[in-house]
Homo-oligomer: A and B are copies of this chain.
Amino acid sequence: MNNKEKLRNAGLRPTKQRMIIANILLNGVNRHFTAENLQNEINSSGNSMSIATIYNCLKKFRNCGLIKQVESSKETAIFDTNINQHHHFLDEETGELIDIENEEINLFKLPEIPKGYMNSGVEVLIKLKRQI
């Protein structure tokens, strides 16, 4: 499925701006990025886009499940093109995230889900320190 179809499937009009972003993000190579990272990539690809549009697109893409937003205590929002359930290493010093595929972790025992709720995803974060 090409990017135009992906956008249409998600219920999004394939505008020029959304296609530029889709072509950068949805090329099969997964990455973690901020809105500013993406704007820099857009600029170096010879295009340009308002930061408001970038935020609008990222929010739409996220809400449609085309990308995810990472849980992070950094002040800047971090997005992720890997939409499969997966886990992360976090280098606490640099903030760098590294994907851990779902099969690499096995959760043996899980707590009971609170009454009235259902499990909607489990994420494991392994924090890393430089070895001494």
- A contacts, CB < 8 Å to B: 69-73, 77-78, 89-92, 98, 100, 104-111, 113-114, 116-132
Q: Are B123 and A124 in contact (CB under 8 A)?
A: yes
Residues of the B chain whose Cβ atoms lie less than 8 Å from the Cβ of A125: 71, 122-125
* A interface SS class: strand
Report Cα–Cα, A126/B110, bound state, in Å: 9
The chain B residue with its CB closest to the CB of A87 is B111
A124's partner among B91, B118, B122, B128 (CB-CB below 8 A) is B122
- A109 to nearest B CB, angstroms? 4
Residues of the B chain whose Cβ atoms lie less than 8 Å from the Cβ of A113: 89, 126, 128
A121's partner among B111, B116, B127 (CB-CB below 8 A) is B127
